[in-house]
Chains A and B, each alone.
Chain A
């Protein structure tokens, strides 16, 4: 996603030394300041929210237990969002990640409780199944040249249907292996495991995107498919890979979610769709504005949950959660565009 301003073309060629710091601006703001503000706007909001709620509710909000709760609740969303940024970076949509997460969750609980499979093969099959869903998305986009929005919308619907067929509309809650609960509910040094998974995955994805040629290639494809291809970037292969990566992380997210809940329900996955998109778009306004990036995404996920939890603790009604998420997304994206538009 680029928030490039058309005013960029209007910037005249100036002597290099000056141009580096100064760009045409209204109101005398210089580029680095504006970009810097955009970079840290979301972290600032996060700090502001934490301070506000801590002052309002020192007894409940500002506690380690609450911090863990907040992070734990959103670790699955974080894992899913880290997967989703891969197709988004190359300029493709993936509407199937939420349904795919539901599939992973149902497969791991169903295969163990209904088919009596061992936990490890069940996890492997669940993650593999979700990865295959992602691969098929990629094949539809690269081979059949279907618009990714439509291809993944179709895939999302199909996956939801398959999940309903397998569960027959019910919830798998009996005979869930204890090992699965351990995966979702144990702690290491007091830290809930899902937080650890999300952090490890964030580190891996960040490493791939920032420190390997693969990451450069993905961003290049997102910038210009044609230019990337003519620069020797294997566009088709990496498109497949990005969708498969989204599927893989959706599968892992599904397994973790199953562990947290201790059951498999067909209705848990799909509602992740809007929050996960809110998180990645919100994340693209921070740290590296205008670019889908790992730490921005993580901060966005945490910010959204801090806001929601804080509001709940100060006694806001239940419907405030979606309203807060929507308002935060729109304000963050428009302010980032505003700041960058001024700067470029």
Chain B
């Protein structure tokens, strides 16, 4: 570890202290004697790979899991008897905001407040909307953002919805909240370091400000996120869990992303680099797109050669994902033409695309990537199952063999074809989705944010798979918001803004910094403006 454990000599007020917390599931230790403390008024990041015990720890705090005997818990210096029920956690001032927020989108903000507070009325009494609205408005204001409590939640931006969820959670503790747990609050938001330079505050910045004002009021915040640059921006201290044990707790200021990665995976993970020795010579054209338009995409033209990885950069809503869907036949184009291997390729549906050797690894893997309640084996062979139909039936032995091969080849864990896809970790789900497509040996592979919500270890593996598919001779379209990795892997980057292709840049000649400028301003900008853009992006410059 580069950072030394923070001294507790001046013993700041603790919002929460846990000692010797273990949790055993049928002989398997998910948490093993974890000590953890949270100061009042600090943001304490909880780090670890998928399966390291973060969510078990949080669920123990929430009262959802009963910890093993022997654990001790103090809230604001007062010992709390264990175990307790989820409702009691709230009473004691422990409140939680989960990734899915738990809001009802077609109700107003005030109504969303009211449902968790039982309408502030006796069962048959009249609901006092005025007081509920006033209270909701007050809570939201204290987070530093104006949100109309009468507005419908579904119409708010995702960041604003997160604020509503935070305000509601804080308000739900009747005796005052002491600990706020935020579980992956930014997973669905566009990336912070790209947005911060815009005229208006970015979604993530909005959320960060709210967290800072919560902390300023003396509440301790436990913050769980895979996005390490957020931790560097926001957290005061961090605790790292690995295999259910606490590895260390350290102060965050002064640390780098590389330091965090090292402590999380327990070894140095070098930046994923691409071995270009296997690159094929360019000039073997595969895909030619001319004047392609869709709902958002306008008049986009470009070409990809075999063995080439072409990046697509753009903000959320720039049309980057739609471009992938248009090429895959998942959405009908309104104009333009697509040529694959010199032949027209305007697929009416994804089936046509699959038959012609096109694969799309979609952004939302739980909804679109795989079938959650089907087994890993069936998911892996879904696009290719027709090839296993011989002599009047699916040859199950061959299917199983193929699934096992893919599991081994793509390092899917656990290596059990009969496991349900939905219970795998995010990284392994993504490996299944990638494996199911690369297993069909496609000619054109479209990756849409392939490493989103994937832990550090699996991230590197998935980038290697992107690279491998190109080495095998496929053309690859990599839609991503990780610009530095994109520049490492791609030969060219297409920049999209408002549905249009604004630049087609060879990667040798640009830096992540320049790419950021293209994405946000549509081109190179004056040095003053560029510096403003680069300010929240120190780590990009360092690379």
> Taking CB as reference atom, which chain A residue is nearest B394?
A211
CA distance A207 to B392 in the complex (A): 9
Is the CB of A226 closer than 8 A to any CB of chain B? yes
Chain A residues whose CB sits within 8 angstroms of the CB of B86 once the complex forms:
none
A213 touches B56 (CB 8 A): no
Instruction: Tell me if A23 and B26 are in contact (CB < 8 A).
Output: yes
CB < 8 Å: which of A4, A25, A236 contacts B373? A4
Roughly how many angstroms separate A341 CA and B28 CA in the complex, as a whole number?
20
B423 at the interface (CB under 8 A from A): yes
- Which chain B residue lies CB-closest to A290? B373
CB distance from B11 to the nearest CB of A (A): 33
Q: Knowing A22-B27, A230-B360, A231-B383 touch, does A220 contact B374 (C-beta < 8 A)?
A: yes
CB-based contact A230/B55 at 8 Å: no
Residues of B near A25 (CB, < 8 A) are 26
- How far does the alpha carbon of A201 sit from the alpha carbon of B422 in the complex, in Å? 33
Within 8 A of A (CB), among B333-374: 349-351, 353-355, 360, 362, 367-374
A178 at the interface (CB under 8 A from B): no
- Find out whether the CB atom of B422 lies under 8 angstroms from the CB atom of A216: no
Smallest CB–CB gap between B13 and chain A, Å? 32
CA distance A9 to B422 in the complex (A): 8
Docked-complex contact A12 and B28, CB < 8 angstroms: yes
In the complex, B382 has a CB within 8 A of chain A: yes
Interface residue from A28, A213, A220, A224 paired with B386 (Cβ < 8 Å): A213
Inside 8 A of B394's CB, which chain A residues have their CB?
211-213, 216
Contact (Cβ within 8 A) A223 B372: yes
When chains A and B are docked, how far (Å) is the Cα of A216 from the Cα of B436?
15
Which B residues are CB-close (under 8 A) to A119?
none
- Interface residues, chain A, with chain B CB atoms under 8 Å away: 2, 4, 8-16, 18-20, 22-25, 28, 30, 207, 211-213, 216-217, 219-220, 223-224, 226-234, 236, 290, 344
A233 and B26 contact, CB distance less than 8 A: no
Contacts of A216 in B (CB 8 A): 378, 382, 385, 394
Could you write out 17 A-B pairs with CB less than 8 Å apart? A10-B55, A12-B244, A20-B416, A25-B26, A213-B386, A213-B394, A220-B382, A223-B371, A223-B372, A224-B367, A224-B370, A226-B367, A229-B349, A229-B350, A230-B350, A232-B355, A290-B373
A227 lies within 8 A of B371 (CB)? yes
Cross-chain contact B368 with A230 (CB below 8 angstroms) = yes
Known: A10-B64, A12-B53. A231 touches B25 (CB 8 A): no
User: Which residues in chain B, 305-347, are within 8 Å of chain A measured between CB atoms?
Assistant: 328, 330
Assess A8 versus B422: contact at CB under 8 Å? Given A16-B413, A223-B374, A232-B354.
Answer: yes
B370, B371, B414, B425 interface centre (most CB from chain A within 10 Å):
B371
Most buried by B among A2, A4, A212, A216: A216
Interface centre among A4, A8, A227, A236 (most CB of B within 10 A): A227
> Interface size bucket, B side?
35 or more
Within the complex, what minimum Cβ distance (angstroms) separates B433 from chain A?
Answer: 9
**A99 smallest CB distance to B (angstroms):** 31
Q: Which of A4, A229, A230, A233 has the most CB of B within 10 A?
A: A230
Which residues of B have CB within 8 Å of A15?
Answer: 28
B126 interface residue, CB < 8 Å from A?
no
Q: Which residues of B contact A231 (CB under 8 A)?
A: 350, 354, 382-383, 436
Extra inter-chain contacts (15) besides given A8-B420, A9-B55, A229-B350, CB under 8 Å: A4-B373, A8-B423, A12-B53, A13-B50, A14-B30, A16-B414, A25-B26, A216-B385, A219-B374, A228-B371, A230-B360, A230-B362, A233-B351, A233-B382, A290-B373
Closest B residue, CB atoms, query A235:
B349
Closest residue of chain A to B392, judged by CB? A211
Q: How far is the CA of A16 from the CA of B423 in the complex (A)?
A: 13
Chain A contacts for B385, CB-based, 8 A: 213, 216-217
Q: Is the CB of B26 within 8 A of A24?
A: yes
In the complex, what's the smallest C-beta–C-beta distance from A9 to chain B, in angstroms?
8
Which A residues are CB-close (under 8 A) to B373? 2, 4, 223, 290
| Residues of chain B within 8 A of A227, CB atoms compared | 367-371
A135 to B351, CA, bound (A): 22
Given contacts A24-B25, A227-B369, contact A212 B389 (CB under 8 A): yes
Cα–Cα, bound, A70→B162 (Å):
59
The 3 closest A-B pairs by CB, nearest first: A13-B51, A232-B354, A16-B414
- On chain A, the residues within 8 Å of B378 by CB distance are 216, 220
Give Cα distance in the complex from A342 to B354, angstroms. 39
Q: Please, which residues of chain A bring their CB within 8 A of the CB of B360?
A: 230
Assembly CA distance A24 to B64 (angstroms): 13
Interface check B393, CB cutoff 8 A: yes
Q: Which of B244, B349, B370 contacts A234 (CB 8 A)?
A: B349
Q: Which residues of A contact B28 (CB under 8 A)?
A: 12, 14-15, 18-19, 22
A224 in contact with B371 given A211-B394, A213-B394, A230-B330 (CB within 8 Å): yes
Chain B residue nearest in CB terms to A223: B371
User: Quick one: closest B residue to A12, CB to CB?
Assistant: B30
A105 to B399, CA, bound (A): 43
For the complex, give the distance between the alpha carbons of A216 and B378 in Å: 8
Indicate if the CB atoms of B367 and A232 lie closer than 8 Å: no
